[in-house]
Amino acid sequence: MRIVLVGPPGAGKGTQAAFLAKNLSIPHISTGDLFRANISKQTELGKLAKSYMDAGNLVPDEVTIAMAKDRMEQSDAVNGFLLDGFPRNVSQAEALDEMLKAESMKLDAVLDLEVPEDEVVKRIAGRRICRNDSAHVFHVTYQAPKAEGVCDTCGGELYQRDDDSEETVRKRLEVYHTQTEPIIDYYKAQGLVVTISALGKVEDVTGKAMAALKGDGEGE
């Protein structure tokens, strides 16, 4: 299957992508991973992307598209892939369509993880991370530490990252609504969108997503 995963920040896309890719035996292609891999390997595209990032500018669509194209042409993606973070806007979606068309391929589904805005804010703004080890993550509502502000695992101080503040989260949501959400309508016009609620336990959301992709669960 060839799937695009969309949803606001805090919808759990990364977590769901990993589970779905494993269940469907297809590679999970994440924009973040693509950038990190190209930059660490110092590919031409990686160097180009880094030059924009170092200057504090957004990486142009054509660089992101080229990275995605290169990854989708690798042998493990021949029988399908799950795209997470790409396409991020309508022009990238159009470029993806052109890429697939050139190879006589098409997308099978666009999985839209739906989460109410207030829940997104609650999920992200409630995160607390250990200063000693960023892998130790807690949540003031969903996974509160035994002692406030103290890591259960190592006793380190827990803090809120600057980009997890409510103000920053709401700005990120604005960007999502303006830039990424329009691709949902773009794909709806092609009859590809399957919408599921991303509320509930991780495994329950994965179950709903798998059922919807197979056409026997909830979704549009």
pLDDT in the model for residue 214: 86
* Separation CA 136–CA 133 (nearest Å): 6
pLDDT in the model for residue 219: 45
Half-sphere CA count of 134, side-chain side, radius 13 A: 2
Residue 156 labelled as part of a binding site? no
CA dist list (Å): 91 to 33, 57, 62, 104, 141:
21, 18, 10, 20, 38
Beta strand pairing call for 81-84 and 28-30: parallel
Residues assigned a catalytic role: 13, 88, 127, 161, 172
Q: Both tokens of residue 83?
A: 């795209």
User: Which homologous superfamily does the CATH classification assign to the domain defined by 2-115+180-213?
Assistant: P-loop containing nucleotide triphosphate hydrolases (3.40.50.300)
Positions in the chain whose pLDDT score sits under 70 = 216-220
Q: Both tokens of residue 202?
A: 């991780």
Residue 14 labelled as part of a binding site? yes
Identify any residues that bridge with 114 across adjacent strands, giving them in sequence order. 197
Residue 7 labelled as part of a binding site? no
pLDDT in the model for residue 216: 55
- What does the domain layout of the chain look like in residue ranges? 2-115+180-213
Residue 126 labelled as part of a binding site? no
Whole-model pTM: value is: 0.88
What share of residues in the chain are helix, strand, coil (percent, to 5)?
50, 15, 35
Residue 127 labelled as part of a binding site? yes
Evaluate whether 205 touches 12 at the Cβ level (below 8 Å): yes
Residue 123 labelled as part of a binding site? no
